[in-house]
Structure 1
Amino acid sequence: MKFGPTPLDEAQGAILAHTLRLPGRVLKKGTVLDAEAIAALREAGKAEVIAARLESGDVPENEAAHRLGEALLGPLLARTRAATGRVNIQADAAGLLVVNETLVNRLNALDESVTLATLPNHTPVAAREMLATVKVIPFAVPGGVLQVAEAVARSGRALAIHPFRPLKVGLVLTKLPGLKESIMEGAVEATEARVTALAGQLLPPERCRHEEGAIAEALGRLRKAGAEMLLVAGASAVVDRRDAGPAGVVRAGGRIEHFGMPVDPGNLICLGRIGEVPALVLPGCARSPKLNGFDWVLQRLFAGLPVTGKDVAGMGVGGLLKEIDSRPLPREAAARQTVSGAAPRRPRQVAVLVLAAGRSRRMAPLNKLLVPDDKGVPMVARVVSNALESRARPVIVVTGYESQRVEEALAGRPVHFAHTEDYAEGLSASLKAGLGALPPETEGVLVCLGDMPLVTGAMLDRLIGAFDPEEGRAIVMPTFRGKQGNPMLWSRAFLPEMMEITGDVGARHLAGKYAERVAEVEMANDAVLRDFDTTDALRMAPDFAGRV
Structure 2
Amino acid sequence: MQFGPTPLEDAQGAVLAHTLRLPGKVLKKGTVLDAEAIAALRAAGRREVIAARLESGDVPENEAAHRIGEALMGPLLARSRAATGRVNLLADAAGLLVVNEALVNRLNALDESLTLATLPSHSPVSAREMLATVKVIPFAVPGGVLQVAEAMARSGQALSIHPFRPLKVGLVLTELPGLKESVMEGAVEATEARIAGLAGQLLPPERCRHEEAAIADALNRLKRAGAEMLLTAGASAVVDRRDVGPAAIVRAGGRIEHFGMPVDPGNLLCLGRIGDIPALVLPGCARSPKLNGFDWVLQRLFAGLPVGGREIAAMGVGGLLKEIEARPLPREAAPRNAPTGAAPRRPRQVAALVLAAGRSRRMAPLNKLLVPDSKGVPMVARVVANALESRARPVIVVTGYERERVEDALAGRPVLLAQTEDYAEGLSASLKAGLSALPPEVEGVLVCLGDMPLVTGPMLDRLLAAFDPEEGRAIVMPTFRGKQGNPMLWSREFLPEMMQITGDVGARHLAGKYADRVVEVEMADDAVLRDFDTTDALRLNPEFAGRR
Scaled to the shorter chain, the TM-score interval is: 0.7 to 0.9
Q: What SS does the corresponding residue of 1:171 show, helix, strand or coil?
A: strand
Give the C-alpha shift of residue 404 in structure 1.
Answer: 3.1
Partner of 1:284 in structure 2? 284
User: Does 2:313 correspond to 1:313?
Assistant: yes
Distance in 2 between the 1:265 and 1:108 partners?
A: 33
Q: How many residues align?
A: 524
- Larger mean CA deviation between 273-282 and 412-421 belongs to 412-421
Distance in 2 between the 1:14 and 1:224 partners?
A: 71
- For 1:238-317, what aligned pairs fall within 5 Å after superposition? 238-317=238-317
Partner of 1:385 in structure 2? 382
Distance in 1 between the 2:183 and 2:537 partners?
A: 54
Distance in 2 between the 1:372 and 1:70 partners?
A: 46
User: Does 2:4 correspond to 1:8?
Assistant: no
Matched-pair contact (CA < 8 Å) for 1:387–1:460: no
Matched-pair contact (CA < 8 Å) for 1:383–1:455: no
Q: What SS does the corresponding residue of 1:90 show, helix, strand or coil?
A: strand
Identity %, equivalent residues: 78
Letter in 2 for 1:19: T
Q: What SS does the corresponding residue of 1:263 show, helix, strand or coil?
A: coil
Partner of 1:100 in structure 2? 100
Partner of 2:539 in structure 1? 543
Q: Deviations over 1:319-345 (max 9, x none)?
A: 2237244899xxxxxxxxxxxxxxx99
Matched-pair contact (CA < 8 Å) for 2:382–2:453: no
TM-score, length of structure 1 as denominator length? 0.84
- Larger mean CA deviation between 419-428 and 276-285 belongs to 419-428
- For 1:68-87, what aligned pairs fall within 5 Å after superposition? 68-87=68-87
Give the C-alpha shift of residue 513 in structure 1.
Answer: 4.8
Partner of 2:143 in structure 1? 143
Distance in 1 between the 2:459 and 2:39 partners?
A: 39
Q: Deviations over 1:81-105 (max 9, x none)?
A: 1111111111111111101111111
Partner of 1:17 in structure 2? 17
- For 1:135-534, what aligned pairs fall within 5 Å after superposition? 135-321=135-321, 323-325=324-326, 350-358=350-358, 366=364, 369-370=367-368, 381-382=378-379, 385-386=382-383, 388-389=385-386, 391-392=389-390, 393=392, 396-407=396-407, 417-424=417-424, 426-438=426-438, 442-450=442-450, 456-457=455-456, 463-464=463-464, 466-477=466-477, 486-499=486-499, 501=501, 506-520=506-520, 528=529
Distance in 1 between the 2:528 and 2:188 partners?
A: 43
Structure 1 residues 30 and 326: CA distance shift in structure 2, 3 A = farther
- Larger mean CA deviation between 515-524 and 164-173 belongs to 515-524
Structure 1 residues 271 and 351: CA distance shift in structure 2, 3 A = same
Give the C-alpha shift of residue 400 in structure 1.
Answer: 1.8
- Larger mean CA deviation between 189-198 and 141-150 belongs to 189-198
Q: What SS does the corresponding residue of 1:300 show, helix, strand or coil?
A: helix
Letter in 2 for 1:100: N
Partner of 2:46 in structure 1? 46
Distance in 2 between the 1:174 and 1:480 partners?
A: 47
In the alignment, structure 2 segments of 5+ residues that lack a partner are 330-343
Distance in 1 between the 2:101 and 2:188 partners?
A: 36
Structure 1 residues 402 and 542: CA distance shift in structure 2, 3 A = closer
Distance in 2 between the 1:186 and 1:80 partners?
A: 41
Give the C-alpha shift of residue 247 in structure 1.
Answer: 0.8
Q: Over aligned residue pairs, what C-alpha RMSD do you find?
A: 3.6
Give the C-alpha shift of residue 166 in structure 1.
Answer: 1.7
- Larger mean CA deviation between 392-401 and 57-66 belongs to 392-401
- Larger mean CA deviation between 133-142 and 290-299 belongs to 290-299
Structure 1 residues 503 and 77: CA distance shift in structure 2, 3 A = closer
Distance in 1 between the 2:448 and 2:23 partners?
A: 30
Structure 1 residues 481 and 30: CA distance shift in structure 2, 3 A = farther
Partner of 2:58 in structure 1? 58
Matched-pair contact (CA < 8 Å) for 1:371–1:547: no
Matched-pair contact (CA < 8 Å) for 1:479–1:521: yes
Structure 1 residues 440 and 165: CA distance shift in structure 2, 3 A = farther
Q: Deviations over 1:191-230 (max 9, x none)?
A: 2222222222222221211211111001011112221111
Distance in 2 between the 1:280 and 1:492 partners?
A: 52
Structure 1 residues 455 and 35: CA distance shift in structure 2, 3 A = farther
- Larger mean CA deviation between 49-58 and 513-522 belongs to 513-522
Q: What SS does the corresponding residue of 2:539 show, helix, strand or coil?
A: coil
Structure 1 residues 440 and 303: CA distance shift in structure 2, 3 A = farther
Structure 1 residues 441 and 226: CA distance shift in structure 2, 3 A = farther
User: Does 2:128 correspond to 1:125?
Assistant: no
Matched-pair contact (CA < 8 Å) for 1:472–1:516: yes
Structure 1 residues 310 and 505: CA distance shift in structure 2, 3 A = closer
- Larger mean CA deviation between 263-272 and 22-31 belongs to 263-272
TM-score, length of structure 2 as denominator length? 0.84
Structure 1 residues 254 and 324: CA distance shift in structure 2, 3 A = same
In the alignment, structure 1 segments of 5+ residues that lack a partner are 329-343, 533-537
Matched-pair contact (CA < 8 Å) for 1:352–1:387: no
Distance in 1 between the 2:522 and 2:301 partners?
A: 34
Q: Deviations over 1:442-494 (max 9, x none)?
A: 543332445x5597448766655643334312113456897766543212343
Give the C-alpha shift of residue 386 in structure 1.
Answer: 4.9
Q: What SS does the corresponding residue of 1:33 show, helix, strand or coil?
A: coil
Letter in 2 for 1:284: G
Q: What SS does the corresponding residue of 1:39 show, helix, strand or coil?
A: helix
